Structure 1
């Protein structure tokens, strides 16, 4: 939520490479997803390095869109033509093209979440911070959604609302945009400005998971072992200890 207190200061926007960011000893939104998976009884997600991630289509698209000089063509299993086709589709949207020109890509942030006193981190796709316009965070998602309504449903089902709230609260952003880019024909681009209702729902999600991180013993008994294992894997001390 935007803050108006005169002593409020947004966390610094850091320009770090991916591996340096990953090594920061703080909790990321993706860590909360692993904790959610444990709570839901899903198998743990494999950890990937930056090089392994480069083989992922979504990662390749983000690199081409946000840091094109770092794009490596010809990697196994990647359709470079499709990647650049999607990038061009985003840039044909004049609003998004303007944000890309004015924004700072791939910024990292360290912050302490006040409700649980947890050291956290985030890595935003794009941040637009100009005094004459709303402080805006933009996140790009490649999607198989059929249309804009389907993508909006995915925002809740895939916990994009949780990510939006986590980032918005950390940076006191005034606007968060989720941009869905279809991986299949007709290769549409869907821009959703995250509503206050979506932010409220996402905030409930991340607060619940951060509280669970601090007190894994509060998990239901039938998930207690998996939740504790997830907390241990994150290397975070808990209030249960």
Structure 2
């Protein structure tokens, strides 16, 4: 399944719930949302080089046997990518080559009956593993960003999706010496339980919105295919 096909599949992802949350909090104007939905365009523009850097690192770590061909990166960026990959070598050797990576999942929420979807970095027998690149140089600073970026809610969503009880955050610093931060969160922990309450509340709100004739639906469902093959 292509990235476009995944995004437009009529199921709710954690990114979709984040969109609804921002609308409810007034952080995302409804006018901006409707414009993006009507025209099938993303309402936020991220530097393609930033996206490609993260995607390349994920491929190098999660699919080490797959050749990486990308003309976007200059020599300095490639050197940084290889340094970061080296820091992740123990996880590549002990986890990523032994378990399925880049796994697309879907399930029916038992509470709302809504179809939910997710794409996880790595799925072991006991845990979901997710790689995060970060500018933080200390573990305390990295963990402090979890609430800001909704990481606890993301972890709760994936545990809800997979019926697993453990989620491992694997942070890798973008600056030398590229420190690695590991945090394992359990389903019954306070942070995950808080995230789970948010997920359940947002799914219930999503169900109510779906029942309205002009209610919210994920703007990603209406996204146009902007890859070369999809450009008219």
Structure 1 length as normaliser, TM-score? Answer: 0.73
Which residue of 2, 18, 30 corresponds with 2:15?
30
Provide structure 2 residue ranges, at least 5 long, that are not aligned to the other structure: 37-41, 223-232
Within the alignment, does 1:21 sit opposite 2:6 as a pair? yes
Cα drift, residue 161 of structure 1: 0.8
Which one of 131, 138, 141 corresponds to residue 132 of structure 2? Answer: 141
Query: How far apart, CA to CA, are the structure 2 residues paired with 1:184 and 1:209?
Result: 35
Aligned partner of 1:80 in structure 2 is: 78
Question: Per the alignment, do residues 198 and 234 of structure 1 end up closer, same or farther by CA in structure 2, a change over 3 Å counting?
Answer: same
**Could you say if the C-alpha distance between residues 201 and 157 of structure 1 is closer, same or farther in structure 2, counting changes exceeding 3 Å?**
same
CA distance in 1, matches of 2:49, 2:10: 20
Supply the distance in 2 between the matched residues of 1:169 and 1:126 (Cα, whole angstroms).
16
Q: Deviations over 1:132-170 (max 9, x none)?
A: xxx221000001123111111212221111111111122
Using a 3 Å threshold, how does the CA distance of structure 1 residues 67 and 230 change in structure 2: closer, same or farther? farther
Contact 1:108 1:123 in 2 (8 A): yes
Query: What is the alpha-carbon distance in structure 2 between the residues aligned to residue 47 and residue 25 of structure 1?
Result: 19
Quote the Cα distance in structure 2 between the aligned partners of 1:180 and 1:169: 22
Q: RCO higher in 1 or 2 (8 Å CA, sep ≥ 6)?
A: 2
TM-score (norm. length: structure 2): 0.76
Give the unaligned 5+ runs of structure 1: 1-15, 130-134, 218-227, 237-241
Specify which of 203, 208, 216 is matched with residue 215 of structure 1. Answer: 208
The answer on 1:181 being equivalent to 2:177 is: no
In the alignment, what sits opposite 1:109? 105
User: C-alpha separation between the residues in 2 aligned to 1:121 and 1:150?
Assistant: 30
1:126 corresponds, among 122, 125, 140, to: 122
Deviation at 1:76, TM superposition (A): 5.2
**Does the 8 Å contact 2:8/2:221 carry over to 1?**
no
C-alpha distance 105-157 of structure 1, shift in aligned 2 (>3 A): same
RMSD: 2.9
- Is the CA contact (8 Å cut-off) linking 2:171 and 2:182 kept in structure 1? yes
